[in-house]
Amino acid sequence: MKRKEIIKVLALSVSIVVVMVSFARCQGIGGFSGFNGTQANVNPYFITGDQGDQEVLRELFALLPLEAGNSRGQLAIVREIAAIYLRQGEFGRLVNFLNGRVHQYPDDPFNAYYLFMIAFAHQQKDALPIAALYFDMIVKNYPDLEVQGRSIHLASLNQLVTLVTDPRQRVWYYEELVSRFLDQIDPALTFFMLGQAYESIGEWDNAIRAYTRFLANSRPGFAVPGFPDAYSYARRMVDFSNSARNWTFESLDALAGAVRSALGASASGRLMRYQARANFFTRTWESEDSAIGATAGHATFNLAGFMQRSQIRYANTLEVSSNGNEAFLRTWGWALHLPTWYFYFRRIHFPPDPEMHGRWEWAGIFYGERF
């Protein structure tokens, strides 16, 4: 996506405005007077607050026409007026004042900054949809600005991804973030949320690519606000997408029946073929750490060795805690120190492949008795 021109806004000191106000007073300009002796037309609506605030506002509004054609000079004054309104909680006056400026000076290079303040004011008034419209307008219709080293577009995009719920819009905003500001954002968080947005509109290839980039920028156990299992979810989606998917069963009954049959016949080779080839895990109930993928199942132990040394037994029914998405089969006789293993069966969540989505897999093993 095309990167827009960035206009840098230098941090303007409050002292600049103070000097201007003092100079105006020395010239006898107080109130509404201008240097040319004419009266500045100031709507009394904009003069608010206690006597001190009103006096300062009159002087600031009187100075604005003197800086006509000097957008940086006007910026300093506008920021001071805005600061007074913000301190007073006069968000409506702030919005009206800044909207009037943007319409009066449509070519002002600092309009993106003024619109950002308008959006912020609407947020303070809980008018969030209106705030989102202004943030969107800034990103799509105005050149970027850097205010005290911070990009207005970046700040607006960060607001938009929390304010806007439409998934297609969210895709656009997240793509803007990763294409323009990758060095200034949390890439893991952004790529995961981009994947979620692509999922919402059914663009699964793009979702898998986003999750792949998320995994490259994160680590096991990485959590995203609202998604505590973000890493394991993305890992399952990516690995399952890259797998042959030839170990699944149409139903839980079919899977449990096949596993019991293999156990009863001590058919270790057949049993191992039922293990998931993507994201199969082994762990104890107490541990949060799992051996996953290549480090689990086949690589960790030889089922044939266990099954040859003793008769493996299994429950005739699944655990009562089983439900429509996961199930547990208790087995025992495996080893002296951990004789009981619970086989974990899981319903497959993989909407990109409707034939696989909703089928069942043997996804892992929990060692030890369940407490």
Which residue ranges make up each domain of the chain? 1-158, 165-242, 252-367
Number of residues written out for the chain: 371
Average the pLDDT over 188-209 and give the result. 97
- Quickly name the fold that domain 165-242 has: 1.25.40
Among 74-78, 137-141, 155-159, 303-307, the least confident range: 303-307
Assign residue 221 a region (left: φ > 0; alpha: ψ between -120 and 50; beta: otherwise): left
Contact 105, 67 (CB under 8 A): no
Q: Label residue 188 exposed, middle or buried (CB < 10 Å: 0-12, 13-18, 19+).
A: buried
Residue 241, H or E segment: helix 230-241
Paired tokens of 369 = 């008795």
Beta pairing, strands 144-147 & 340-347: unpaired
Average the pLDDT over 270-276 and give the result. 93
Paired tokens of 232 = 């394991």
Rounded distance, CA 166 to CA 296, Å? 40
Higher pLDDT, 301 or 60: 60
pLDDT tens string 108-135: 999 999 999 999 999 999 999 999 999 9
Average the pLDDT over 328-332 and give the result. 97
**Fold matches, 1-158 and 165-242:** yes
Q: Which segment, 211-220, 264-273, 327-336, is predicted with the most confidence on average?
A: 211-220
> How high is the pLDDT of residue 69?
77
Contact 285, 368 (CB under 8 A): yes
CATH code for residues 252-367: 3.10.450.50
> How high is the pLDDT of residue 2?
43
Nearest to 262 by CA among 304, 299, 292, 310: 304
- The yes-or-no verdict on residue 76 having pLDDT over 80 is yes
Is 1-158 CATH 1.25.40? yes
Confidence of residue 311 (pLDDT cuts 50, 70, 90): confident
> How high is the pLDDT of residue 17?
44
The percent of residues in the chain predicted with pLDDT above 90, rounded, is 71
Rounded distance, CA 359 to CA 348, Å? 5
